[in-house]
Amino acid sequence: MTEEVKKYDVIIIGAGPAGLTAALYTSRANLSVAILERGVPGGELINTANVENYPGFKSVSGPDLANKFYEGAMQFGADYIYGLVQSIQPGNPYHTVVCDNGTYQAKAVVIATGSVHRTLDVPGEEEYTGRGVSYCAVCDGAFFKGLPIQVVGGGDSAVDEGLYLTQFGESVNIIHRRDQLRAQKILQDRAFSNEKMTFTWNAVVTEIKGDGKKVTSVCVKNTQTGEEQDLPAGGVFIYVGVLPNTEGFRNLGITDDQGWVLTDEDMHTSVLGIFACGDVRSKKLRQISTAVGDGGIVGQEVYQYVETLNNTEQS
């Protein structure tokens, strides 16, 4: 006997700040809501030691803030389901979401799977993430006041964030695998004219070292000579790209060539009834506050969409 597929008004894929905010808004609007998440709620917040730039909190640990988001999202009866989403099959009026632990259907689907920072995959990187290794200057720069900072990368993000870090660090050194930056010329000009900024060219990081509690240095290797050296580091900021979590959705035709989901300002994708919010979107600024803003907008849009469907079915 075929097991009956459970149906909802809305399925939200991902339980970071954007997804949990969307769940709060939609469940509070009396829609039936399921959150599908492959791990613990909170997204990148779980890996953030302290958050000092989220309104309403002078300082709060990432896990604590994640728990507050989760409690708020669940208070109006949303279901939280652990599982890895494998695909979305568009339909009318129900879309089908295929998960590794079952199949679900909903009138609206919200993709809130976020993004992940591309890593260096070198010894010490994982060990010292949150203890000196960071991927967000705006989030963590203030923790490294008066310390030497190493920035890995040579594109817009690395140079722009490196410039931002000069207001905190004793010095900011950019480590780049080539002999010239890839960033926009205006950013390069600002970097080269900043007295706090230095550059290590033709170099790759081979190891991030520490004392067991925090980062102390990075080991770099010259790509031309093979020479290795240790550079002092209180903080290491890595900007070698971010990757969208959209592997299961690219067949829908809603992403750009890099995999970011394209939406309008109201979080609609090009597929009717499928929305996206938060860091998985093609956007300029990826912060907790912008994710929450996206989640609020998509919650209202989903409510209006489902109400329109329901009214159409009843007429």
Calculate what percentage of the chain has a pLDDT beyond 70. 98
**Residue 136 annotated among the catalytic residues of the structure:** yes
Fold of 119-238: FAD/NAD(P)-binding domain (3.50.50)
> pLDDT digit string (tens) for 257-300?
999 999 999 999 999 999 999 999 999 888 899 999 999 999 99
> pLDDT digit string (tens) for 291-301?
999 999 999 99
Those residues whose C-beta lies under 8 Å from the C-beta of residue 31, and which sit 6 or more positions away, are: 8, 9, 10, 302, 303, 306
> pLDDT digit string (tens) for 19-71?
999 999 999 999 999 999 998 999 988 867 678 789 999 989 888 999 999 99
Q: What is the pTM of this model?
A: 0.77
Report the mean per-residue pLDDT for the chain: 94
**Residue 139 annotated among the catalytic residues of the structure:** yes
pLDDT of residue 1: 42
**Residue 156 annotated among the catalytic residues of the structure:** no
Q: Which of 139, 277, 279, 294 is catalytic?
A: 139
> pLDDT digit string (tens) for 156-166?
889 989 999 99
Those residues whose C-beta lies under 8 Å from the C-beta of residue 15, and which sit 6 or more positions away, are: 23, 35, 37, 40, 41, 42, 43, 70, 73, 80, 112
Residues of CATH 3.50.50.60 domain(s) within the chain? Answer: 7-116+242-314, 119-238
Q: Which of 99, 136, 277, 294 is catalytic?
A: 136
- Would you say residue 315 has pLDDT above 70? no
Average pLDDT estimate for 309-313: 86
pLDDT of residue 314: 73
Q: Looking at the domain that runs over 7-116+242-314, which CATH code has it been given?
A: 3.50.50.60
